[in-house]
Amino acid sequence: MLMRLLWKEWQENLWKLGFGLVTSAAFVVMLFRIRLFPDTASCAIISVAQLFVIPVVYALDLFSGEMSNRTIHLLFKVPVSRWKIFFSKYLMALGCMGLIFVSTGLLMELMGHAREAEMGMLFRINGLFGLSAGLLLTWFCVFGCQSRNEAGSLVAMFGVMMGWGIVWFWSSFCEVVWAFHLLPVGFAIGALKLTSAAMLNWVTLVMSQVAIVILALTIACYRYVKIRRVL
């Protein structure tokens, strides 16, 4: 049943995958062809744009779309656990986002062909941004899974970004290392070397993110399972 749910999500969100692939490829080709900036800077510009645009595009109507279209009534009548419905949506979004970031990274490597940045560097930077984008999507799901419309999802995303922005400022200004390692954009910050080696420990970052993502997914799943208002 989970496979059928995944197939449904794949079909519903195929246009987002197409959108992400086409726009990312278009901007990569343009920036790497005209060479307005150095290759690493072009990579950083595209990655930053992707970091905020791609998760927002996916999360905007991932859950609220079913609510505003009232199709959630039909979906919840299907004899399948709600947590499976939640994870089918989440995993499909995560997988498609991964596909977009991997293909963008490969295209950057192809276009850059190690002329300025060393081999694999652009892919690594874009990949780390992709990890951060996945973490952001997780947090958007936590706060947006009960939204009834796009506006609710948007407000949830705004809140997530502001909240983590405050944590970022606090952790870097007051040198709170553990709080820094909880930031979803920690991988992106590390990729661009925006922080010191003392603040960023990759092993701790990975372990912290795994722990907090499990917690976040548990909360998101619980909130989705407990939806009452629209039914």
Neighbours of 74 (CB within 10 A): 10
Does 66 sit near another protein (CB under 8 A)?
A: no
Q: Applying CB under 8 A, does 34 fall inside the site for another protein?
A: yes
Structural tokens at position 38: 């150095």
Smallest gap from residue 162 Cβ to another protein (A): 5
Sorted by sequence, the CB contacts under 8 Å of residue 200 that are 6+ apart come out as 180, 186, 189, 190
List, in order, residues 6 or more apart from 175 with CB less than 8 Å away: 199
Q: How far is CA 1 from its chain centroid? A: 26
Binding residues among 115-134 for another protein as defined by CB under 8 A: none
Cβ atoms of 52 and 194 within 8 Å: the answer is no
The binder of another protein chosen from 35, 81, 113, 215 (CB under 8 A): 35
CA 204 to chain centre: 20
The residues in 39-58 that bind another protein, with binding defined as CB under 8 A, are 57
Please report whether residue 210 would count as binding another protein according to CB under 8 A.
Answer: no
Binding test (CB under 8 A) with another protein, winner from 1, 2, 30, 110: 30
202 contacts another protein (rule: CB under 8 A):
no
* Least CB distance to another protein at residue 65 (A): 8
Residue placing its CB nearer to another protein in the complex, 1 or 230: 230
Q: Is position 7 an interface residue for another protein (rule: CB under 8 A)?
A: no
203 touching another protein, by CB under 8 A: no
Which tokens belong to 186? 């920690």
3-state SS, residue 1: coil
Under the phi-then-psi rule, with left for phi > 0, alpha for psi from -120 to 50, and beta for the rest, what region is 156? alpha
**Which stretches of 78-231 are assigned E, i.e. beta strand?**
none
CB closer to another protein out of 188 and 221: 188
Residues in touch with another protein (CB under 8 A): 15, 19, 22-23, 26-27, 30, 34-36, 57, 60-61, 149-151, 153-154, 158, 162, 165-166, 169-170, 172-175, 193-199
